[in-house]
Structures are given as C-alpha cells and as structure tokens.
C-alpha cells in the first residue's frame, strides 16, 4: 500500500451512516479460488444522519464486482464507481429500497486470514474488525445492525458441514449435482463483524444445556476428524459458563443452538460470532497427555469469555471501534470473575495482575500508550491491546469496588434493559453505573480518556501521644504521547493498618468515623487521611486486592515488607510484599558493582574518578560504605529467605499460592520499573543470583515440597491438583537455580515418569534454563515423541526460544529453517519468534542486536502475508528507548529499517512509526 499519507480516524469525527440496513440475505457458492457471494440488502434512509440525498458508499476490499441492481433493476456503470476500498453509488432512492450485489473472492489466496479464507481445506471466516468487506460490499462498521439470512452451497464430499450464525433451517442435496446447501436464520440484529461461516469435512461432539427457563439448547463443538476425544473439557467448560452467567448476571442464551468450531490457522484466540464461535484450536483441544494445566485453564476461561460476549458484545455492541473496551474490557472482567468463582479468587487475582504488569504497564509507559478508549487510530486491528482488554477490565472492577456488588449488578441489569439490541458507548455504560448507584462518576470517566499508569506516592506520620496515624497520598501520572498534562483520577484504594500481632486495626478515619469498608478514595492530586485511636505505629497495607491499576511508591522498610509477607490478611498484598522485597533485593544487587577502584599509587586512575573521590582516605570511606551495604544486602537476603520459608512451611497456605510466592518478578517488569538506561543482561544475572539464593538457602524445604507434591492418582484439572502441579514446577525451577546438576537430575526423572503434558513441560521449562547436555537430548526426545501433533510441536518451538542462554538466537535462526516452521501459520510464528521477542528478554536484547534483527526480518516477511500478526509482533520494540545506549541504537536501527521498507501495510506502519517517532 501507499503509506505516504496514511489516514487517521478520529473519535470526534463519528457520524451515523446515511442509510440503515434492516435485513441481509447472503448466498454463498463456495469454491476455493472463486467463491461467489450474492447479497441482498434491505436499506432505508437514516433520519438521524441529517438531510437525505447522500451517496451510498460501501466498504469492500479484494473483491471482483460481477453485478449490481436496485429494486431488481441493474445499475448502469455510469451511476457507480469502484476503487480498491469501496463501492460508491451516486444516487439511491430516498425511501426503503433493495440493493443486490454479486461479487467473487478468492479464499485460498487469503493469507491475511481476514474475511473468508481456507485453512486445511476448511472454509472459515474472521470478520472482526473489518473483514466482512472482503466478503461483500457493506457498511462494515459496528453501528449498522441487521438480521441475517444465509444460504451456503458447496460440494457435499469436501464440505459435508455448512454452518453460519443463528438457527438452522433446511439442508438438502441439489438434484443432478454433487452439491448441497444449508439455510441459516439469525433473528437477532448484529453488526457485520459478527458474521460467520464455516464449511468443510468436520466431526463434532454434541451435548445440550437446559436454561433456567426450561429451554433446551443444542451444543456442538466441531473439530478435525480424529480429534473428537479432545473436546470433553471444552464442552464441560461451555456448560459451566452458561450456568454461571445465569446465576451471576441473570443472562440466558437466546438461540436454539450454540456451536464452536476449532481451526488451526487463526489470527486471534477466538471469536464470539453470534451462535457460531470460531476458535484457535489450541483453546479447544485437550487431553492430559497433550495439554498442560495452563492450557486447561485457558480453555475454560476463553470459552467463558467468548460465550459471555453473547450479551456484552453481541446483544449490546459498540457504536464505533473507539468503544472497543465496552465489549472487551467488560467481558474480560466477567471472565475473570468466572474463573475467580470456580477456582481460587486470590490466585486468579494475582495471575491477572502479573499479566497486567507484564503486558499493559510497559505499554502504558511507552510510545504506544493510549487511553482505554483511544481518541484516534490508523488501523483498528492495532488496538486489540492489553490496555483495551486488561486495563479496561480493571476499570470495570474499580466501578464494582466504588459502588458495591449489589449496585453493580443493578447497573448491569439497567444496561441490558436500556441498550439491548443497540450499539452503545462507554458513556452509556458509565451512566448506568451512576444511575443505579446514585454516585457521581464524572471524575471516574477520566480513566477511559487518559493514558498512563498513575503512581501513588506514600508518606506516613505517627503521633504516639495522640494515637493518630496520618497517611498522605499523592498521585502522579507521567506524560504520554499526545497527553502531556494529566488530570487527577478517582482512585479507590483498599487499605489495612496492620498491628504488631498481624491483625488489622479498626479504621477510625477523622471526620468520617469507623469505615464500613476498608476503602479510601484518592480524588485529588494530594490528600491526607488521619486515623484516630491507633495504639501503636501500624504497618500500612495499601491497594489491597489491587483495587486500582496503579503503582505504589513507598519508603516501607524491608522489615515491614517481610512482616506483611508473613502476616497480611489480604492475600494479594501478602504476595505483593514478597514481590516488592524481591524487587528491592534485585535492585540492590544491580547497584552493588561500582566502577573498579584503583591502587592508591595509580594517580592517573585516581584523577579519572575524581567525581567519586580525591584521596585514598576517601576511597577507604567508599569501600567501608560499600562493605556496610554488602552486609545489609546479605542480611536482607537472609531475612527474605526466612520469611519465604515460613510461608512455604505453613500448612494452611494454598499450594498454588505457595507457587506464586516462589515466583520472582519478571525481567520486563523490573526493566519497566527502572525505566531508563536499562541493561537487560544485568537484570537477568541479578535475578538469577536471587533465584540461586532461594534454591540454595531453601534446599531442604524445597526437596521436602518436591516429595510432597509427587503425583497421586489420575490426572485431574481441578484447582487442588492444578495447584499441586504448579508448586512442583516452581520448586523444580528454584532447586535448579541453586544446584543445576540436581535440578537437571530431577527434571530428567520427572520426564521419565511423567503422567501428563504438564509434567513434561514443567520439567523441560526448567531444563531449557540450564546449559547442560541433558537439555538437548530431552528436547530431541520430546519432538520425536510428539512430532505429529501440531499443538505440541508449537510447545517444542516455544521451549527453545524461551531459553535464557547465549546460543538461543542462533538456535531460533536454525529453527526458522525447520520443515515444521511455517510463516503462514500464526501459532507457529508466535511460538518461536513471538516467544523470543516477548518472553525472553535476555536473548532478545542480546548485546550484538541479533534478537532485534531476527524480529525485524520476520516482521518484514510476515507483513506481506499477514499484516495483523506482523504488527502485533512489532510491539516488542515498544520499550527500545529505555535501553542502555548500545542496545538502544541497535533496536532503533531495526525500526528505521522497517519504516524504510517500501510497501508496508497500514498495520505495521502505525506500530513502527509510533514506536520510533515518539522516542526518536
């Protein structure tokens, strides 16, 4: 494409379409290289769009127009025009009329996997966000909602299954041919991005669900033949989701049938098409010997997410794509609540915050930062981001925290009552929250419009004589692209004042009295809270439950953090204290190597460090200070190990929580907190040293846990057994950090007697961190055993790309030439190059820049085939400006190389130019 002047779309420019579409009839004549699509649209002027007479402009890409008529009469070529992105009819009737269009498209050539494409001989669609325009000319935008009737015709031998949205109608053979057809009718209005079609030779697993009103719903999961035995967990997860949505939100399913189709080539995780969800097969297929615990939990959560979209996304959709968080953020919140209710709420909350900090916090602090509801975009596919999804979910959670669970449910009921069948806005949603609760949420709305992660700075005073504890909080949000000035936000903060016995003290807030809920609200740039009748200086536990997506900056001592780590009644903050302590230990380690001090007689060297010292006496003083700091570091590490040991030995603590307590902060998270002049290699080494300290200092405790978590009985994906296996994997990783030989030995033993894929991947995940001969032999054996299962081969590629070792980049280059690596398969690209760029900071940020070169090479090759995936992978460059000078120059050179390449897609151009422009 020509990117000399890419068009930016602005929220402020929204206008309704001049014509509404009430009914859509589609007739598909399927052929891999020339599918014929006949559309019949019932249109009428839209009075809300203003005076009539506007031309009809319909979006369309990569289509061959064959015929066009209005009210049964062909339209003369002089009355319309076609360009690569649209069809324009200069004059149309200013009354209800029928438009018929016939087009051809080439599904087999569609490597972008947007619109109608062929995957493993299966016809499949992906229409969100703007793929429907590759099927037929249409108002391809979410505020145009219509009822669809679909006829699909195809060869009976290769396409025995013909599926679309809604309820099934007639299916029969066409006399005198080898073809047949199927009819589908969706009675609910929907936007074009929710249209779906699947056709091919598929098997299915069937079940049913009875709604609370007594309606029977047929359930079907379609998969490639021979994989039916891997659908049981997905089906069980679907029924659990349907039951939960009825119980928690009072929402029933509204069609006669609910279908899921699993395909191997898919740009996303899954798609919530009305009544016909299409899934990346990695989120459907599972057996204990092929899928890990993480896979099982992901399947359960993603099936829930897509099903929940039936109401939050389908029945109520977005007015425009700027409102994307209205369906995605809200539905992520709903699926988080679902998992919390059926598994461990505490463990789920920690997992969600880890993901937010790993993905969204870096996004919010870099050149790609944008509000939860962005104000502009060049390519909407680039805004399916952690900010829209994960931070959007956090805003919903804050609303629940502010107005309470009962009022939140009342507000959701009001939202469905007011807006069912509509394309709504964020304002509509927040207005329902305000109306149902009686609270003024006008300040809260700034969370949707303002980018950046607020930092809450804490200062404390305690007046022992008056028994008054004063807490002063100041909120600061750094400038982000296009937003140099930031407004004060409404920040709900869960709070506890912890006494010396580890119990919470009463919260007697001056001017308010005893708080009914342990919650304070920071609504100003700076605010003080005075608590009365506090017998002794408490230890502050703030932002409990991670009540707001903020960073807390505090001068709390290591002793206070370790005290909370052992005693805090809030499970999240107990984990948070361990993370904060680990951060402090790693940062102290990074600062322990000052410039090398010279001999006293080396006058030239002494002169060169005159900024630090001007005499041997001063050097002695510096050395003494560094010795004292070394003693403190050693003492802090010892105290940390003691506190961690207490948690691991506490039989009342959940096993999954123990596993989380053993986990150290991620290297990307540490880098984001440092913020500038970052040396990823030094961070990795410092983190590894703390891992070694844990492994050696807790060796006996860890070995006891290793024995205790040995497998007992058949595999079960329930929370208890999942927690046991997660602790076992964490223990193995820690042991190997302290004793590589022992860790390798235990990993090999686990591989030899593994009872599940979780056991295999757990052992291999530790082995790949060790530069030992057992590693390569184990990986070769794993591939030999599973080479015919594409999902497990994805894991094999990812394991090797995740190795934090010096030879990883060379190995990735070699694997890109492997017969099983295909650039046209998104899962395979993500498993290898995506893992390197987004999950292995040590290798990706190698000092020679090879990691950056691998990513840039892949992106440029992929952009010609699948711009969506290329652009998403390019976001790995987003933090280049915070690196130390040499790595910064190498990464910048690759971004400049990408931008200098002719013919970039709009998707990649936006990501690369913003990444470079905001920093360059």
Q: Over the stretch 443-455, which tens digit does the pLDDT of each residue have?
A: 999 999 999 999 9
Q: d(Cα 22, Cα 45) in Å, to the nearest integer?
A: 11
Residue 377, pLDDT > 80, answer yes
Q: d(Cα 85, Cα 665) in Å, to the nearest integer?
A: 46
Q: Tell me the three state secondary structure of residue 487.
A: coil
Cα dihedral value 265, 268, 272, 276, nearest 10: 0
- 24-52 confidence digits (pLDDT tens): 999 999 999 999 999 999 999 999 999 99
Supply the mean pLDDT for the chain: 95
DSSP bridge pairs for 23: 42, 147
pLDDT of residue 919: 41
Quote helix, strand, coil % in the chain, to nearest 5. Answer: 45, 20, 35
First-residue to last-residue Cα distance in the chain:
24
pLDDT of residue 820: 98
Q: Tell me the three state secondary structure of residue 59.
A: strand
**Residue 609 banded pLDDT, cuts 50, 70, 90:** very low
Q: Per-residue DSSP letters for 76-116?
A: PGGGEEEETTEEEES---SS-EEEEEEEEE-GGG-TT--EE
Q: Tell me the three state secondary structure of residue 469.
A: strand
> Of 355-364, 469-478, 621-630, where does mean pLDDT reach its minimum?
621-630
**How many alpha carbons lie under 13 Å from residue 915 in its C-beta half-sphere?**
30
Phi and psi torsions of 496, nearest 5°: -145, 140
Residue 594, pLDDT > 60, answer no
Q: Tell me the three state secondary structure of residue 461.
A: strand
Q: d(Cα 794, Cα 830) in Å, to the nearest integer?
A: 9
Q: d(Cα 586, Cα 684) in Å, to the nearest integer?
A: 10
Catalytic annotation present for 449: no
Catalytic position from the list 61, 306, 363, 910: 306
pLDDT of residue 826: 98
Residue 581, pLDDT > 90, answer yes
pTM attached to this predicted model: 0.96
Helix (H) or strand (E) holding 468: strand 468-476
Q: d(Cα 843, Cα 849) in Å, to the nearest integer?
A: 9
The single residue listed with the structure tokens 């999954």 is: 656
Are 880 and 888 spatial neighbours (Cβ–Cβ below 8 Å)? yes
Neighbours of 219 (CB within 10 A): 19
Q: Per-residue DSSP letters for 783-802?
A: HHHHTT-HHHHHHHHHHHHT
- 277-300 confidence digits (pLDDT tens): 999 999 999 999 999 999 999 999
pLDDT of residue 269: 96
Residue 17, pLDDT > 60, answer yes
Are 669 and 353 spatial neighbours (Cβ–Cβ below 8 Å)? no
- 114-127 confidence digits (pLDDT tens): 999 999 999 999 99
Distances, alpha carbon 20 to alpha carbons 58, 89, 903, in Å:
12, 15, 36
Helix (H) or strand (E) holding 144: none
Residue 610, pLDDT > 60, answer no
Tokens of 117: 């494409």
pLDDT of residue 446: 98
pLDDT of residue 206: 98
pLDDT of residue 592: 84
Non-local (6+) Cβ contacts of 326 within 8 A are 318, 424, 425, 426, 429
- Average pLDDT (234-243) is 98
pLDDT of residue 606: 42
Peptide bond into 251 cis (omega under 30): no
Please report how the helices 655-662 and 616-649 are oriented relative to each other, as an axis angle in degrees rounded to 10. 170
């Amino acid at each position: 494409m020509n990117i000399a002047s890419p068009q930016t779309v602005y929220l402020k420019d929204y206008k309704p379409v001049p014509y509404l579409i009430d009914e859509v009839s589609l007739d598909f004549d399927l052929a891999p290289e020339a599918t014929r699509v006949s559309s019949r649209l019932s249109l009428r002027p839209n009075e809300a769009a203003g005076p009539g007479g506007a031309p009809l402009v319909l979006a369309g890409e990569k289509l061959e127009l064959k015929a066009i008529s209005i009210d049964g009469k062909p339209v003369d070529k002089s009355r319309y025009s076609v360009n690569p992105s649209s069809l324009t009819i200069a004059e149309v009737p200013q009354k209800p009329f029928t438009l018929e269009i016939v087009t051809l498209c080439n599904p087999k050539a569609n490597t972008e996997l947007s619109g109608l494409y062929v995957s493993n001989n299966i016809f499949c669609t992906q229409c969100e966000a703007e793929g429907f325009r590759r099927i037929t000319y249409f108002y391809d935008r979410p505020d145009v909602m219509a009822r669809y009737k679909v006829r699909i015709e195809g060869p009976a031998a290769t396409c025995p299954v013909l599926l679309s949205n809604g309820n099934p109608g007639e299916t029969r053979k066409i006399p005198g041919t080898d073809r047949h057809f199927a009819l589908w009718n969706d009675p609910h209005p929907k936007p074009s991005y929710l249209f779906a079609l699947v056709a091919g030779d598929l098997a299915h697993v069937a079940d049913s669900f009875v709604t609370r009103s007594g309606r029977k719903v047929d359930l079907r999961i379609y998969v490639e033949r021979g994989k039916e035995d891997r659908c049981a967990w997905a089906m069980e997860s679907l029924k659990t989701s349907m039951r939960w949505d009825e119980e928690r939100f009072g929402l029933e399913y509204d069609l006669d049938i609910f279908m899921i189709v699993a395909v191997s080539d898919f740009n996303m995780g899954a798609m919530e098409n009305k009544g016909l969800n299409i899934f990346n097969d990695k989120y459907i297929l599972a057996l204990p010997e092929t899928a890990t615990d993480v896979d099982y939990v992901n399947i359960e959560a993603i099936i829930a997410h897509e099903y929940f979209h039936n109401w939050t996304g389908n029945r109520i959709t977005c007015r425009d794509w700027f409102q994307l968080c209205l369906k995605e953020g809200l539905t992520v919140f709903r699926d988080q609540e679902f998992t919390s209710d059926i598994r461990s709420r505490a463990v789920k909350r920690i997992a969600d915050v880890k993901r937010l900090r790993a993905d969204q916090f870096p996004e919010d602090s870099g050149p790609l930062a944008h509000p939860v509801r962005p104000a502009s975009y060049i390519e909407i596919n680039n805004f399916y981001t952690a900010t829209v999804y994960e931070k959007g979910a956090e805003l919903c959670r804050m609303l629940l925290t502010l107005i309470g669970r009962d009022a939140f449910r009342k507000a959701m009921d009001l939202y469905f009552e007011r807006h069912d069948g509509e394309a709504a806005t964020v304002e509509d949603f927040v207005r329902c929250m305000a109306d149902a609760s009686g609270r003024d949420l006008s300040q809260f709305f700034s969370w949707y419009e303002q980018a950046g992660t607020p930092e809450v700075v804490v200062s404390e005073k305690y007046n022992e004589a008056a028994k008054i504890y004063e807490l002063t909080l100041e909120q600061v949000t750094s400038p982000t692209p296009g937003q140099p000035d930031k407004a004060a936000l409404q920040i709900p903060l869960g709070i506890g004042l912890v006494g010396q016995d580890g119990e919470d003290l009463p919260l007697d807030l001056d001017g308010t009295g005893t708080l009914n809920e342990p919650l304070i609200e920071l609504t100003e740039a700076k605010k003080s809270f005075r608590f009365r009748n506090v017998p002794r200086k408490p230890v502050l536990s703030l932002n409990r439950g991670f009540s707001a997506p903020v960073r807390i900056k505090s001068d709390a001592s290591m002793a206070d953090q370790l005290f909370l780590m052992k005693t805090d009644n809030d499970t999240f903050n107990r984990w948070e204290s361990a993370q904060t302590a680990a951060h402090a230990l790693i940062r102290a380690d990074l600062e322990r190597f000052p410039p090398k001090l010279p001999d006293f007689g080396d006058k030239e060297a002494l002169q060169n460090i005159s900024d630090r010292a001007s005499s041997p006496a001063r050097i002695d003083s510096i050395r003494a200070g560094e010795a004292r700091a070394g003693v403190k570091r050693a003492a802090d590490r010892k105290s940390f190990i003691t506190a961690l040991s207490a948690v691991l030995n506490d039989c009342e603590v959940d096993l999954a929580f123990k596993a989380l307590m053993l986990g150290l902060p991620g290297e990307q998270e540490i880098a984001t907190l440092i913020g500038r002049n970052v040396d990823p290699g030094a961070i990795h080494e410092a983190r590894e040293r703390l891992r070694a300290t844990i492994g050696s200092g807790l060796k006996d405790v860890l070995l006891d846990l290793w024995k205790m978590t040995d497998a007992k009985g058949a595999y079960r994906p329930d929370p208890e057994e999942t927690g046991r296996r997660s602790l076992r994997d964490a223990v193995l990783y820690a042991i190997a950090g302290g004793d590589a030989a022992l860790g390798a030995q235990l990993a090999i033993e686990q591989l030899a007697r593994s009872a599940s894929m979780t056991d295999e991947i757990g052992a291999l995940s530790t082995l790949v961190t060790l530069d030992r001969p057992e590693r390569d032999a184990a990986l070769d054996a794993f591939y030999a055993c599973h080479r015919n299962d594409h999902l497990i081969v994805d894991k094999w590629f990812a394991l090797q790309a995740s190795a934090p070792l010096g030879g990883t980049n060379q190995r990735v280059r070699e694997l890109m030439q492997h017969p099983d690596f295909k650039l046209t398969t998104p899962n395979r690209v993500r498993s290898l190059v995506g893992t390197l760029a987004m999950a292995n900071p040590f290798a990706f940020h190698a000092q020679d820049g090879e990691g950056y070169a691998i990513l840039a090479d892949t992106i440029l090759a992929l952009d010609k085939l699948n711009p969506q995936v290329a652009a998403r992978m390019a976001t790995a460059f987003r933090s280049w400006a915070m690196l130390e000078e040499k790595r910064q120059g190498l990464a910048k050179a690759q971004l400049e190389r990408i931008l200098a390449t002719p013919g970039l897609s709009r998707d990649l151009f936006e990501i690369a130019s913003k990444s470079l422009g905001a920093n360059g």
